[in-house]
Amino acid sequence: AQTVTQSQPEMSVQEAETVTLSCTYDTSESDYYLFWYKQPPSRQMILVIRQEAYKQQNATENRFSVNFQKAAKSFSLKISDSQLGDAAMYFCAYRLSGAGTYKYIFGTGTRLKVLA
């Protein structure tokens, strides 16, 4: 069975600094997608970034980038130039390819605090 592990329940970062959130997953499949979602205090779930497993290039979205290591089954999120608005719970998620067939597997989340 596929699993997603976020081993850091909580992280802190100084404003303007860089922080990396860890995520590992377990799968025997080769065609899948990985995501990071952000849940701020409003509790809205917001898609931050996605990565297709078949792509070797790491995804980037403005200040957010991932380090995708397929062989190691690792998918970390790097937040550069951290801002107060980045304070949130971050969830890593995995999904197999296949329309209407599989569910998403979410990690337990990492709470990020940004210190002014």
Binding region for other proteins (CB under 8 A): 33, 35, 37, 43-47, 50, 91, 93, 95, 97, 99-104, 106-109
Closest contact distance (angstroms) between CB of 16 and other proteins is 28
Q: CA 88 to CA 74: how far, in whole Å? A: 21
Closest contact distance (angstroms) between CB of 20 and other proteins is 20
Residue 14 vs 108, nearer CB to other proteins: 108
**97: its two tokens:** 């390819």
Closest contact distance (angstroms) between CB of 21 and other proteins is 15
Residue 15 vs 45, nearer CB to other proteins: 45
Residue 85 vs 116, nearer CB to other proteins: 85
Give strand ranges (E) for 1-116: 3-5, 10-14, 19-21, 24-26, 32-39, 46-52, 60-61, 64-69, 74-79, 88-96, 105-106, 110-115
